[in-house]
Chain A
Amino acid sequence: MSDGGVDPGAARNGATEELALSVRNLSTVFEDGSRTVHAVRDVSFDMRPTERLGVVGESGSGKSALALSILGLIEPPGRVLGGEVVLDGRDISKLSDRELGAVRGTHISLILQDPMSALDPVKTIGSQIVEAITANDAHIRRAAARRRAADLLREVDIPQAESRLDDYPHQYSGGMRQRVAIAIAIANNPSVLIADEPTTALDVTTQSQVLALLDRLVEQHGTAVILITHNLGIVSDFCDAVAVMYAGRFVETSGVDHIFLHPTHPYSEALLKCVPNPERLADGPLPAITGFPPDLAALPGGCSFAPRCPVGREIAECHERSPRSHHVVDASGPADVECHFAEQRSAAVTA
């Protein structure tokens, strides 16, 4: 996992390695009366087994919608417009609800942000874990499923697992509930796990414990992880690759080193500058990205970051023409960048 993470050019170069997940041109909209919110716009990426991809971006940039779109869990008024989701070599984007049910949990699963609302308050912890086991294995005996549930609780470090199966969610702390959510997600040993801000709702100590647990389990099980977060610190600790999401698109995809050393997209650069850094204390107050994320129902023409972009704000081309994806390589590794000035900016770094 030290090879600089995802190689955005791998698929293009015809790499023969089996992919855990390949997303092609995925688009999702939410239709509310006459407003159409373009939450996910033409997103493509590949993940190798055991790879860890961090998806970062501001609130409302479409990160969670992307997660639900991959799982086929977009509910009306949302709708997946099109695209392919190839999971373990099989396109799951056109499957029926029943067929998708057999895929969810076994091949791909998810962890949500708020552990307080991710568990049903009126069902026991045990029954909710057992449900994850029986949903995909109708023939397993009750006692066996319960033993497996207890094993899973032990695996996520819940003490007295056997007796705590009969507790209800309100008897667990937030950190423990998130451990249960992890137990549910890994119950069937999926090849891809989507974690949507799994630690945002936890306090800092619990955060690092839960993250360490997740780290250990995905390492053991060889699970590929999509970690959705706006915490760049977590990304640098946990991920191999990063996708920076802006207005529903991946504007820069690269290995972690590249993003932290030489962010090429002006948005990535701006995002990074907003991370508090003790070494830059002398530089005065923490900078913020000026302006607001664009209204996804009324996107401007051209590059959607142009109105806020320190580079392209004054440049006509940026407001008129959508940038295509540029493959750039510099000392910190390769990256795919959607910016008219990607090559220039990358070259400036190398020079």
Chain B
Amino acid sequence: MGGVVTRRVLGSLGAIFGATILAFIILRALPGNPARLIVGPLGTPQAIAAVEHQIGLDKSIIAQYWLYISNFFKGNWGYSYADGKSVSSLIGERLPATIELALFSFALTMFFSIALALLVTYRRRPVADRIVRGIAYLGFGTPPFFVALLLLIVSFRSLHVLPGPEGRLGLQATPPPTVTHLYTVDSLIAGQFGTFWASFKHLLLPAIALGLSSFSFIVRLLRANLLEISREPFITVARGKGLRRWTAFRRHALPNAFLPTLTAAGLVLGEFLAGSVLIERVFNWPGVGSLVFEAIVKQDFAIVQTFILLSAVMFVLVNLAVDLLYAVIDPRVRIASVATS
């Protein structure tokens, strides 16, 4: 299967290269001198020149670009202009919160997309179908931060059933002993069920706000695919063999309908993992999105620039993984790739 794999990997490398160029150019095009920002408003010209030399600003553009990407891929992402901490440690601190929210929201999104798409396509349920499509249209058209605020107003302020915008656990709670950095998992490992429940409740609203538009997208895609596939003659043939309705649906309609959904699911996961600035901001979620927001406010470009490139790389890698997965599970792609290799 060399052909497809090589093509996809080369394509992904090209995309990452493009992203580095773009990030580099944007960085150079920004007004202001980074060295001046680092030294501060009272810096002497000598101090500024020293910093310029230190971070390589006096070198040629090509050399600067090379320095920039080699540092990036070595994990040497520079230092925050604001407090001098290394960018990698700052992002590392915030990453678990973003990952936990992303995975939880992704699981919710996929579970409800699949369950509801099956519900309205396996048998004709006109009323349920109309409701699901209604939710999907609303969810697709409403901005996530607005959904987030709405959810907070309803379930926190009015109904008092879920915690407000207070981060991952609330202000007084102590995090569980660190194993995976994911509070829900760590609290279960430590047997702290109270902490698990608290972190679960704190995850719920941001996860819904983050996932709603993706859910709307995937449920519509899956519904349309399932409806189309269940009308295919091979489903009738399968039933004609004596398979029961559900068996024919499970063995033949589901795999065929899920294949095109895989790409969408990959895109969604990549998007979630890159962190949502708005959602994290609304819920005071201490993730990468919040870090970037703070960095933008403070003009801390070392962080912003790393974040942009990092999310681009992550997005490309997730898509590469999906493409490769295709080559494994779809015989049409797999066999075509054997033939061309």
A contact residues vs B (CB 8 Å cutoff): 68, 71, 73, 76-77, 97-98, 101-106, 109-110, 112-114, 117-124, 131-132, 135-136, 168, 170-171, 181, 184-185, 187-188
The complex places the Cα of A348 from the Cα of B238 at a distance, in Å, of: 49
> CB-CB < 8 A to A114: which residues of B?
233
19 A-B pairs besides A104-B239, A110-B237 with CB distance below 8 A are A77-B124, A104-B240, A105-B242, A109-B241, A110-B240, A113-B233, A117-B233, A117-B234, A118-B234, A118-B237, A119-B234, A121-B234, A124-B331, A131-B251, A132-B242, A135-B241, A135-B243, A136-B241, A136-B242
Closest Cβ neighbor of A115 among chain B residues:
B233
Q: A121-B332, A122-B331 are in contact. Are A68 and B236 (CB under 8 A)?
A: yes
> CB-CB < 8 A to A68: which residues of B?
236
Closest Cβ neighbor of B124 among chain A residues:
A76
The complex places the Cα of A329 from the Cα of B245 at a distance, in Å, of: 45
B255 contacts partner chain A, Cβ-Cβ < 8 Å: yes
Interface pair A106/B242, CB less than 8 Å apart: yes
The complex places the Cα of A77 from the Cα of B125 at a distance, in Å, of: 11
List residues 247-274 of chain B with CB under 8 A from any CB of chain A: 251-252, 255-256, 259
B330 contacts partner chain A, Cβ-Cβ < 8 Å: yes
B244 contacts partner chain A, Cβ-Cβ < 8 Å: yes
Could you list 22 examples of A-B contacts with CB < 8 Å?
A68-B236, A73-B239, A76-B124, A104-B240, A105-B240, A105-B241, A106-B242, A110-B240, A112-B233, A114-B233, A119-B234, A120-B234, A121-B234, A122-B256, A123-B255, A124-B331, A131-B241, A131-B243, A132-B241, A168-B335, A170-B332, A187-B241
The complex places the Cα of A187 from the Cα of B241 at a distance, in Å, of: 9
Nearest-neighbour CB distance to chain A for B309, whole angstroms, equals 37
Number of interface residues of B (CB under 8 A): 25
Among candidates A71, A77, A97, A122, residue contacting B240 with C-beta atoms closer than 8 Å: A71
B232 contacts partner chain A, Cβ-Cβ < 8 Å: yes
> CB-CB < 8 A to B252: which residues of A?
120, 123
Closest Cβ neighbor of A96 among chain B residues:
B244
Interface SS majority for chain B: helix
The complex places the Cα of A132 from the Cα of B237 at a distance, in Å, of: 10
Among candidates A71, A117, A168, residue contacting B332 with C-beta atoms closer than 8 Å: A168
Closest Cβ neighbor of B237 among chain A residues:
A118
> CB-CB < 8 A to A171: which residues of B?
335
The complex places the Cα of A189 from the Cα of B332 at a distance, in Å, of: 32
Nearest-neighbour CB distance to chain B for A80, whole angstroms, equals 15
> CB-CB < 8 A to A123: which residues of B?
251-252, 255
Nearest-neighbour CB distance to chain A for B339, whole angstroms, equals 10
Interface pair A122/B241, CB less than 8 Å apart: no
Interface pair B237/A119, CB less than 8 Å apart: yes
Nearest-neighbour CB distance to chain A for B173, whole angstroms, equals 48
> CB-CB < 8 A to A112: which residues of B?
233, 236-237
List residues 204-247 of chain B with CB under 8 A from any CB of chain A: 232-234, 236-245
The complex places the Cα of A127 from the Cα of B309 at a distance, in Å, of: 46
The complex places the Cα of A171 from the Cα of B332 at a distance, in Å, of: 9
Among candidates A120, A122, A170, residue contacting B238 with C-beta atoms closer than 8 Å: A120
> CB-CB < 8 A to B242: which residues of A?
101-106, 132, 135-136, 188
Nearest-neighbour CB distance to chain A for B142, whole angstroms, equals 31
> CB-CB < 8 A to A73: which residues of B?
236, 239-240
Closest Cβ neighbor of A71 among chain B residues:
B240
Closest Cβ neighbor of A136 among chain B residues:
B242
Closest Cβ neighbor of A171 among chain B residues:
B335
The complex places the Cα of A122 from the Cα of B234 at a distance, in Å, of: 11
> CB-CB < 8 A to A120: which residues of B?
234, 238, 251-252, 256
Nearest-neighbour CB distance to chain A for B258, whole angstroms, equals 10
Closest Cβ neighbor of B123 among chain A residues:
A76
Closest Cβ neighbor of B230 among chain A residues:
A75
Q: A122-B330, A168-B335 are in contact. Are A101 and B233 (CB under 8 A)?
A: no
Closest Cβ neighbor of A98 among chain B residues:
B244
